[in-house]
A and B are shown apart, each in its own frame.
Chain A
Amino acid sequence: MLRKLIIGTALATSFAFSAHAADVKEVQMLHWWTSGGEAAALNVLKQDLAKEGYAWKDVPVAGGGGDAAMTALKAMVAAGNYPTASQMLGYTVLDYAAAGVMGDLTETAKKEGWDKSVPAALQKFSVYDGKWVAAPVNVHSVNWLWINKAVMDKIGGTEPKTFDDFVALLDKAKAAGVIPLALGGQNWQEATMFDSVVLSTGGPEFYKKAMNDLDDASLKSDTMKKSFDNLAKLVTYVDPNFSGRDWNLATAMVIKGDALVQVMGDWAKGEFHAAKKTPGTDFLCYRFPGTDGSVIYNSDMFGMFNVPDDRKAAQVALATATLSKSFQSAFNVVKGSVPARTDVPDTDFDACGKKGIADLKKANEGGTLFGSLAQGYGAPPAVANAYKDVVSKFVHGQIKTSDEAVTELVKAIDDAK
């Protein structure tokens, strides 16, 4: 009996092994796009690859910020079990490239002309040591205002061009009995809003020096103190229950008309679409007042790992498909972001998407395309999270004055560098 059991087990496991060895036309993708709209967007890629005869092995790990997915990825890579590609953000790509586990897509990049079509700021993250290691999928930007048009018309508001205009608009909303600003009191949301406030208060040069170069003088400056003052002003316009609220619930407040405006990245557009709202008719998208002409971005990238030779063809197919114009257009229309290539026609995009594409092109050419510190594209995660902590403590009252906030911010960033 025992002998039969041993033989049976050996046979079963041997079949499992042989099944693996034969699999070459397969793409294994780790990601955290598990919500309805996001999964539908990824499905476009799946179908594109299926047309070329590649099977799609999905490795989804839910969790909006990607923390769980990145932990799973770390475990897989440490075990030597590389996926073909993984959804990754900025500095993670560079970290893994420094560890020597990424593949090399330079040939494909040359053939497809990525050097010219992908914005330079993105190339900082997808090219390591002269070699292409990741294929950018999209460009989200965070300095947007999302406004409920019905409420806006009711209070007689117009597009705010400066920060003071914005405060006046919020006052009008408060007087009309509507919650002026919908905010979710989680540290990344507060920090995402603060990114826009810093850019608006200090201008593009200041943002770059402070948030990307982490220049001490800029971080200690009065402009930074004024940014914190402005943030404090905005926080007076949120409802008392804002602490801990998820971002999509804040967007829902705007969609329903309970609140006037939300300061959020353009993934919020996906929520409006899911609620069947159209830009211009039901909602308005403006750049955060004072930031027109600049784009604070974050970008999802597919990091390509150093897979064994029999899987390299599948990886090249995946990379080519990801940066193909048709996929970039189809995917980003659904996702709400802007294509990672500047030469994709904007015919399929809605009004906000068209504005986003135009803004990206202008920012790329004008050098005003900056990485979002809150979203992990301005500086490495240690610094970014220290920054988010300080902003969140300021919003929730543990840090009481703007002066203290500036001191704490400098201390935290220096400590985390």
Chain B
Amino acid sequence: MARRAVSDQPVLDEPMSTVAETQIKLTPEHDARRGPSVRSRLQDLLPKIVLAPSFAATIVFVYGFILWTIYLSFTNSKTFPSYAITGPRAYQRLWGWTFDTDPPSSWYTSITNMGIFGFLYIAICLMLGLFLAILLDQKIRGEGVLRPIYLYPMALSFIVTGVAWKWFLDPGLGLEQTLHQWGWTSFHFDWIKNKDFVIYTVVIAGVWQASGFIMAMFLAGLRGIDGEIMKAAQIDGASTFQLYRRIVIPLLRPVFLSAFIVLAHLAIKSYDLVVALTSGGPGGSAWLPSNFMYEFTFKRNEMAVGSASAVIMLMTITAIIVPYLYSELREKSR
């Protein structure tokens, strides 16, 4: 490319090239004689200045308070925080409760439920979301109508979802009662009243709410795949299934990462869904660690145990997300 001498005019009269190659210069070029100008330095710094307040707030309110919670978990805090370190008694109690399986302690129930709920919620949402996105991507006619219909449940809060599904799944009020009235009297669906199955009703309500959003993410990802690649594969004789399995889904890996992060954080946050849907479940069988933390910190005035449970939740999530993030982002930088 012919290089002009140092000037402030945008470079417009270059030979036509593809979009990927043209560099439209809108900022003043560096003055080779005097170094970077104040204006350009300011404009380099501008994103950092804009982000600085949020960054500071995150450092204090997220990481600062994480440290505060970790500190409290080693104290003897009951109703109010106390700052005298007394040792890891809270952790010892939690450790003991982890092995109380018959009858299950609240902590054991919480962590097993988190495992069941987390795994099913994330896996089903991803699969369902991907499946719906692939179906919607087939250039069907009603796509503009169907897409928002699938997406709407995301607009509801967990509380509304919980209450609505509670009525729907209640054997005396909802689905079972309606089918009985319509004549199918041997139908039973009382999972929500059953201590072993109530956690699956939480999965149902959660999946209903979030799959639309995951579908939208995957749809965006699918739209971003270059049509040329798909056509080339079809010319080479790939079946539709092979096409999706070998080409499209691997190309969607960044979307999987984002969707996984979103779903994981929604699953951890699911305090209100459990409360609204099950009020804790029969005998407390639907508790998740967030319910356990709230119950112990605010209702039982056992702040140290609540803090310890929160720290364990954090460590669990970190153990899962950090390696995943690391492996995904490391490959990207190659």
Contacts and interface: CB of A to CB of B under 8 A. Distances in A.
Contact of A381 (B192, B278, B282, B301): B301
B103 A404 contact: yes
Contact of B171 (A71, A241, A397): A241
Contacts of A374: none
A244 B195 contact: no
B244 interface: no
Given A95-B301, A241-B170, A389-B106, A398 B279 contact: no
Contact of A396 (B78, B79, B285): B285
Interface in B79-107: 79-80, 93, 103-104, 106
B298 A187 contact: no
A399 interface: yes
Contacts of A389: 106, 283-284
Contacts of B283: 187, 389, 392-393, 395-398
Given A95-B301, A382-B301, A398 B79 contact: no
A129 interface: no
Given A67-B299, A243-B193, A396-B285, A187 B170 contact: no
B272 interface: no
Given A241-B193, A408-B103, A415-B93, A396 B282 contact: yes
B103 A399 contact: yes
A96 B79 CA distance: 9
Contacts of B193: 185, 240-241, 243-244
B206 interface: no
Interface string B258-301: 00000000000000000000111111110000000001001111
Interface in B160-208: 166, 170-172, 190, 192-193, 195
Given A244-B279, A398-B104, A71 B285 contact: no
A382 B302 contact: yes
A99 B170 contact: no
Interface in A337-374: none
A380 interface: yes
Contacts of B284: 187, 389, 392-393
Nearest to A185: B282
Contacts of A380: 301
B210 to A, nearest CB: 24
A194 to B, nearest CB: 13
Contacts of A396: 195, 282-283, 285
A106 interface: no
Contacts of A400: 103
B80 A99 contact: yes
Given A99-B80, A243-B282, A398-B283, A71 B298 contact: yes
A397 B103 CA distance: 9
Contacts of B295: 385
Given A244-B166, A382-B302, 14 more contacts: A74-B80, A92-B79, A95-B78, A99-B79, A241-B170, A241-B172, A241-B190, A243-B193, A380-B301, A382-B300, A385-B300, A392-B282, A397-B283, A415-B93
A231 to B, nearest CB: 13
Nearest to A67: B299
Contacts of A397: 195, 283
Nearest to B277: A244
Interface string A142-161: 00000000000000000000
